[in-house]
Amino acid sequence: MTGRERIDFSDVLRGVAPWFVVASHWIGIFWWGPALVARITASPLLDEPAPWIASWFSLRYFNFGAFGVGLFFLISGLVIPLSVTANNPVAFVLARLLRILPTYIVGLSIGVFAVYCSSMYWALPFPVEWKSFIVNALLVANFFDIPSLDYVNWTLAIELKFYLLALLLIGTFRSGKFWPILLVCMVGLLFNLLANPAEGAGQVPVWVKAQAKDVMFFPFMFIGSVFYLIHSSKMSWRLGVIYSVLLVLLFCLTWRASAYAPNFYHITLNYCYALVVFAVLFCFRSHVRCNSLFGFLARISYPVYVIHPLCGYVFLRLALAQGWSYYAALLLALPMTLFASYVLHLLVEQPSISLGRLIGRRMRRKE
């Protein structure tokens, strides 16, 4: 995969994807999930009529957040094989940890500080304990049955697991032999069946169920890897279509076997929508060019993702308490988030990525 095509194709999607998640949270969950917003932001329950725009986020068969997350997962499936095959395994792990953890830890800290300010304003107990903060910051909260603080880091925990799995499958990505990936996905299906037995068939620890739910997304992410193999000429289009269909089938079967089964019909559709958009752009990737706007949005996409939930909820809630209109608060929240994300990118994300690349170059020299 050439650098130019990889950057333009994936970066256009990466620049757009987080804003579907932002819209889902700031408009959908903010109005249709007020109890959740009140709990995680230490604020009273919002008791106001929802604006007309919120009706667009109550559609049963289009979920903006799931669509954006689906794009992110496919992008990871596409680019991670390129990274893992080009790097020393240790360098790959260090680079990915540096790519994810420093930015997330700082972003979560900013969000938790916003929640603290909210608790002071509303004179309500601060809901974040040290243990909860630490395990959330390290993206291991579901190993300890501790709830997410921001309700976006579950996707990052899945990403870290996918990186480790990609490392184990490096031979597959280099050779183009796809059967090990299908085998891994079938094991994931079996894992979910065992982790979610029929009622009365025994108890499974909650943390095991949580890992099973994470594994559920691997078949979908590996569809992105199919596109990587097609583009790198390691797989034909015909085989790629066959494997993609098999992975979609395994994704659906695993979802039905998981604890997410009640949401199957109206959530999995959104991942299919994401796959259609991804596939169309992939087919026309030689014509896709990433202009300066999309390039900027792509660079700050990860900081936007980690900063927007807690800070956005707190700001919108306080703005409404001060008598602002919702639309005015929403319009101001956008540039504030862009600015904060850009600063986080410059001060934390970019240096962390540079350090990871430096480690990789030095390790390659020693080989």
Averaged pLDDT for residues 113-131: 97
The H or E element containing residue 72 is helix 64-86
Q: Report whether pLDDT(201) > 70.
A: no
Phi, psi of 138 (to 5 degrees): -90, 0
In angstroms, what CA-CA distances link 239 with 178, 235, 243, 263, 345? 10, 7, 6, 31, 39
The CA distance from 199 to 259, in Å, is 12
DSSP string, 18-69: HHHHHHIIIIIIHHH-HHHHHHHHT-PPP-SPPPGGGGGG--TT--HHHHHH
> For residue 236, what is the enclosing H or E element?
none
* Mean pLDDT, the chain, integer: 92
355 vs 364: CA distance, rounded Å: 14
Is pLDDT at 45 greater than 50 in this prediction?
yes
Structure tokens at 49: 């009529």
Q: Is the pLDDT of residue 117 over 90?
A: yes
- Of the spans 6-15, 196-205, 238-247, 258-267, which averages the highest pLDDT? 238-247
How far, in Å, CA of 363 to CA of 12, rounded? 31
Res 6: pLDDT? 52
Q: Residue 164 has what pLDDT?
A: 94
Residue pLDDT, tens place only, 165-179: 999 999 999 998 899
Residue 242 CA to residue 262 CA, distance in Å, equals 28
Contact 221, 194 (CB under 8 A): no
Mean pLDDT of 190-209: 84
> For residue 73, what pLDDT is reported?
97
Amino acid at 168: L
> Contact at 8 Å (CB) between 148 and 158?
no
pTM of the model: 0.94
Q: Which two tokens stand for residue 260?
A: 């997410």
Q: Considering only the C-alpha atoms of the chain, give the largest distance between any 2 of them, rounded to a whole number of Å.
A: 63
pLDDT tens, position by position, 222-279: 999 999 999 999 999 999 999 999 999 999 999 999 988 888 888 999 999 999 999 9
3-class secondary structure for 126-156?
CCCCHHHHHHHHCCCHHHCCCCCCCCCHHHH
Whose tokens are 């974040």? That residue is 128
Cβ-Cβ contacts under 8 Å for 197 (sequence gap 6 or more): 204
Least confident segment among 140-154, 207-221, 253-267: 253-267
Q: Is the pLDDT of residue 141 over 80?
A: yes
Note the pLDDT of residue 55.
87
- Count CA atoms closer than 13 A to 225's CA, side-chain side: 31
The confidence band for 366, taking pLDDT boundaries of 50, 70 and 90, is low
pLDDT digits (tens, 9 = 90+) for 46-69: 989 999 999 888 777 789 999 999
Determine the Cα–Cα distance for residues 359 and 96; give it in Å rounded to an integer: 11
CA atoms within 13 A on the CB side of 115: 24
Percent of the residues in the chain that have a pLDDT greater than 70, as a whole number: 96
Average pLDDT over residues 101-125: 97
Q: Using CA atoms in the order 25, 324, 330, 159, what is the torsion angle rounded to 10 degrees? A: -30
- pLDDT value of residue 197: 85
Q: How many CA atoms lie within 13 A of 52 on its CB side?
A: 0
* Average pLDDT over every residue of 138-163: 96
Q: Hey, where are the domains in the chain?
A: 3-366
- How crowded is the C-beta side of 118, counted as CA atoms within 13 Å? 30
Encoded amino acid at 325, one letter: S
Question: At residue 149, what is the residue type?
Answer: L
Token couple for 62: 């289009």
- pLDDT of residue 3 exceeding 50, the answer is no
| CA proximity to 272, closest of 220, 222, 212 | 220
